[in-house]
């Protein structure tokens, strides 16, 4: 497939998990992919896989919750390729706990890493996209941001914040040929889910109408569609990839 041929994509937090699979999928569809992780080896490993597939790109180590590092990342991409067409705001982490036990530092960390990073990266790429009159921004939210999840007041708030930011930014830039959408995964088979006790995982799976947890590919396919020209008339939307967990 070459539907993204000629497009330059940045995928934050693409060293592992969902972000890793998104990067591979965009590359498989022809995009040049800039991989990113706060740990350099992870971003390098993803880029190596892309090159083994016949694709290309850059690996950039950066903490995308830090404004200066985001500016440097975007400058490097623009200096190298002259354009940024696709941004996938995937970087994130968790620090789960009941609110009565949650430290303020854990609240601040999750809002900074999950939400502020998406705002910083979006802000940094908007001007180049506006000049080109083309852009695709896809924010990776979560079912927890829609329905809430006990023990995740910080995570749920950060992911709900991404949805509000998605809609607001979509309104700001729609006339400039830029779409902004969100994908909200449910329970997906990542290292985090695999660490759950089996009885809890089975109980959660019973809540999913399709009767199974998702795969990282399920999320990657949705992101690739929203990043393509085929989704040019879709903006400000939230696509739940959750097997029916959240409906309505």
Measured distance CA(234)–CA(48) in Å, rounded: 32
The residues, ordered by sequence, that sit 6+ positions from 195 with a Cβ below 8 Å of its Cβ are none
Sheet holding 178-185, edge to edge: 57-61, 32-37, 8-11, 86-89, 135-140, 178-185, 238-241
Catalytic: 155?
yes
Residues 81, 134, 155, 221: which is the catalytic one? 155
The residue to which tokens 């937090």 are assigned: 13
- The secondary structure of 181-220, three-state, reads EEEEECCECCHHHHCCCHHHHHHHHCCCCCCCCECHHHHH
The residue to which tokens 């979006």 are assigned: 122
Catalytic residues: 155
């Amino acid at each position: 497939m070459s539907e993204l041929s000629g497009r330059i994509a940045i995928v934050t937090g693409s060293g592992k998990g969902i972000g890793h699979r998104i990067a591979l999928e965009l590359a498989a569809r022809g995009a040049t992919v800039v991989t990113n992780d706060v740990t350099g080896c992870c971003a390098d490993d993803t880029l190596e896989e892309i090159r083994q597939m016949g694709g290309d790109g850059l690996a950039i180590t950066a903490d995308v919750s830090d404004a200066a590092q985001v500016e440097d990342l975007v400058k490097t991409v623009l200096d190298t390729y002259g354009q940024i067409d696709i941004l996938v705001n995937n970087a994130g982490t968790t620090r789960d706990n009941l609110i009565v036990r949650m430290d303020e530092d854990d609240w601040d960390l999750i809002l900074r890493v999950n939400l502020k990073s998406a705002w910083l990266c979006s802000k940094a790429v908007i001007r180049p996209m506006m000049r080109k009159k083309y852009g695709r921004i896809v924010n990776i939210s979560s079912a927890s941001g829609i329905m809430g999840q006990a023990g995740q007041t910080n995570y749920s708030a950060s992911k709900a914040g991404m949805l509000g930011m998605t809609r607001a930014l979509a309104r700001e830039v729609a006339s400039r040929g830029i779409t902004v959408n969100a994908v909200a995964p449910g329970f997906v088979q990542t290292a985090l889910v695999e660490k759950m006790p089996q009885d809890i995982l089975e109980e959660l799976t019973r809540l999913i109408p399709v009767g199974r947890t998702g795969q990282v590919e399920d999320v990657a396919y949705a992101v690739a569609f929203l990043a393509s020209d085929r989704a040019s008339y879709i903006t400000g939307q939230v696509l739940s990839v959750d097997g029916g967990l959240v409906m309505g």
